[in-house]
Amino acid sequence: MKIEQIYTGCLAQGAYYIMSEGEVAIIDPLREVDAYIQKALLDKATIKYVLETHFHADFVSGHIDLAKKTGATIVYGPTAAPAFDFYSAKDGELITVGKVNIKVIHTPGHTMESTCYLLIDESGKEVALFSGDTLFIGDVGRPDLAQKVSAELTQEILAGHLYDSLRNKIMPLSNDIIIYPAHGAGSACGKKMSKETQDTLGSQKATNYALAPNMTKPEFIEAVLDGLVAPPGYFPLNVMMNIQGYDSIDTVLARGQHAFAPDAFEAVANETKALILDTRVAQTFAKGFIPNSINIGIDGSFAPWVGAMIPDIKQEILLVTDEGRELEVITRLARVGYDFTIGYLQGGFEAWDKAGKEVDHITSIDANELAQINDNDSQTLILDVRKASEYNTEHIQDAINAPLDFINDSMTMIDKDKKYMVHCAGGYRSMIFISILKARGYDNLIDVKGGFKEIKDSGKFTIAAYSSPPSLQA
């Protein structure tokens, strides 16, 4: 028997490969499925099942493509009703893979179809629980996402179901069972997830706030719902893609890999409503970029921020990337449902610049320069675009909190005639913020490279904690 966790850091997502006696089950695969197929070929095995824990909101699963390419059966737990061929497993049913069994455990709460899969080895011992978004390490799945699909389900009702599922289905299992969740820290599917990607159930019973033994259902509901912020706008759109189906990943990749020379790129940009997405490092982008393009760096939390900043997953996208990374970017966009990349700039930004095309830039200063400006200009306005929770922990005294998550609210309250110094934690989010506003006509935003870390380390600013802070967040 082989168990392999295939973890994708930029999505904080775990897929799983289970193999026994030449048969394989894949749990919650990513959109690009060839890696799973190659892995099975190396093991001289056949992919028999694709097990889905629920209809994912934060990424598009590869279940449909994987089933088409391998002949595997897609499996969901009770109550799921997707628009494609699948097997509806019953609660408690055993699915056989080689010499091991996988028990279906229906655990409604995160969503109504949410299901965990309990792996039972050759000797009959229960060894691992693939818990999807029902149970994370340090947290449980947020119960407010299914409202986008069914208005009849309130988050309070779902949280109550989740309490029952955990108490009646999960917590009675053996303490030595390994928990393999669908996500870790960084995912928007929970709020207190650990950086660890697996743990024993016993350890979780001792440390996970949601599994406290004496917690009542009302206390659980209050604790799970406390502090939730609105989910990213693309979540319900990904859910519907996972339910209804989608274009093959091969079609999406082919559509995106059109290389346009600068003149052709400019023509396509002018003739369509395509968004120009520049995925280079923030400070490289700041030194020169195509006017009206926005920057979301591929080497950060790329896919989640694309999902949060680009509301329409059918938006046509033109790419500016580092040379050689075009396919990577197209693939990572497709993981979260952005299937309409229509091409990229051949030769990258350097080719555009050499062709004599119009170029824009963003002024970027360091913490020492910010301190000088702050000391000499009493009118200096500092925008902190980190999340409210980060700001509340510590921030520059008198800085305004304008979270990137709520950029549309922030934008309406910024005076175009005033100058703002913009920072985040390390410089990634501030460049996203400034590039989006600059594309909308806001020209007086200056980036503080290095972000709050360098600002604090400089020792030149008074650092405060939450005390009824000024905020642009609605």
In this structure, are 312 and 212 located in the same domain?
A: no
Please report whether residue 470 resides in a domain.
no
Strand partners for 260: 345
The verdict on residue 473 lying in a domain is: no
Q: Give me the residues paired with residue 94 across strands.
A: 103
Query: Which pTM value belongs to this model?
Result: 0.91
| 214 shares a domain with 307 | no
Domain span at 303:
247-354
Say yes or no: 223 and 288 in one domain. Answer: no
Burial of 371 (0-12, 13-18, 19+ CB in 10 A): middle
Single residue among 354, 376, 411 that ends a domain in this structure: 354
Claim to verify: residue 400 and residue 319 sit in the same structural domain? no
- Domain membership of residue 318 (yes or no) is yes
Is residue 7 a part of any domain in this protein? yes
Residues 318 and 266 grouped into a single domain: yes
3-state SS record for 212-240: CCCCCHHHHHHHHHCCCCCCCCCHHHHHH
Q: Are residues 418 and 309 in the same domain?
A: no
288 neighbors 358 (Cβ within 8 angstroms): no
Q: In 3D, which of 21, 26, 22, 23 has the Cα closest to residue 4?
A: 26
Same domain, 131 and 8: yes
Give the pLDDT score at 424. 97
Q: Confirm whether 312 is domain-assigned.
A: yes
Q: Measure the CA–CA gap between 399 and 422, rounded to whole angstroms.
A: 10
CATH label of the domain that carries residue 338:
3.40.250.10
Residue 359 lies in a domain: no
SS (H, E, C) the chain: CEEEEEEECCCCEEEEEEEECCEEEEECCCCCCHHHHHHHHHCCCEEEEEECCCCCCCCCCCHHHHHHHHCCEEEECCCCCCCCCCEECCCCCEEEECCEEEEEEECCCCCCCCEEEEEECCCCCEEEEEEECCECCCCECCCCCHHHCCCCCCHHHHHHHHHHHHHHHHCCCCCCCEEEECECCCCCCCCCCCCCCCEEHHHHHHHCHHHCCCCCHHHHHHHHHCCCCCCCCCHHHHHHHHHHCCCCHHHHHHHHCCEECHHHHHHHHHHCCCEEEECCCHHHHHHCECCCCEECCCCCCHHHHHHHHCCCCCCCEEEECCCCCHHHHHHHHHHCCCCCEEEEECCHHHHHHHCCCCCECCCEECHHHHHHHHHHCCCCEEEECCCHHHHHHCEECCCEECCHHHHHHHHHCCCCCCCEEEECCCCHHHHHHHHHHHHCCCCCEEEECCHHHHHHHHCCCCEECCCCCCECCC
- Compute the distance between CA of residue 166 and CA of residue 208 in angstroms, rounded to an integer: 12
- Give yes or no: residues 293 and 152 share one domain: no
Looking at the structure, tell me whether residues 75 and 171 fall in a common domain. Answer: yes
**Residues 232 and 251 grouped into a single domain:** no
Cα 350 to Cα 2: distance, rounded to the nearest angstrom = 47
Q: Indicate the burial class of 96 (C-beta count within 10 angstroms; 0-12, 13-18, 19 or more).
A: middle
- Cα–Cα dist 27/34, whole Å: 15
Distance of alpha carbon 31 from its chain centroid, rounded? 14
Can you list the pairs that 199-203 forms with residues at least 24 positions away whose Cβ atoms lie under 8 Å? 199/137, 200/175, 200/176, 201/129, 201/170, 201/171, 201/173, 201/174, 201/175, 201/176, 201/177, 202/175, 202/176
**Within this chain, do residues 327 and 412 fall inside the same structural domain, yes or no?**
no
**474 within domain boundaries:** no
Q: Considering 314, 333, 354, which residue would you say is the last residue of a domain?
A: 354
Q: Are residues 47 and 153 in the same domain?
A: yes
Pairing of strands 46-51, 23-27: parallel
Q: Where among 237, 260, 287 does a domain terminate?
A: 237
Q: What are phi and psi of 75, to 5 degrees?
A: -120, 130
The reply to whether 370 falls in a domain is yes
pLDDT of residue 151: 61
CATH number of the domain residue 150 falls in: 3.60.15.10
Q: What is the pLDDT along the chain (474 residues), one digit of tens a residue?
A: 999 999 998 889 999 999 999 999 999 999 999 999 999 999 999 999 999 999 999 999 999 999 999 999 999 999 999 999 999 999 999 999 999 999 999 999 999 999 999 999 999 999 999 999 999 999 999 998 875 445 678 999 999 999 999 999 999 999 999 999 999 988 888 888 999 999 999 999 999 999 999 999 999 999 999 988 888 889 999 999 999 999 999 999 999 999 999 999 999 999 999 999 999 999 999 999 999 999 999 999 898 899 999 999 999 999 999 999 999 999 999 999 999 999 999 999 999 999 999 999 999 999 999 999 988 887 889 999 999 889 999 999 999 999 999 899 888 889 999 999 999 999 999 999 999 999 999 999 999 999 999 999 999 999 998 654 455 443
Number of domain units in the chain:
3
Q: Which pLDDT score, from 0 to 100, does residue 149 have?
A: 46
Residue 310 and residue 439: Cα distance in Å, rounded?
13
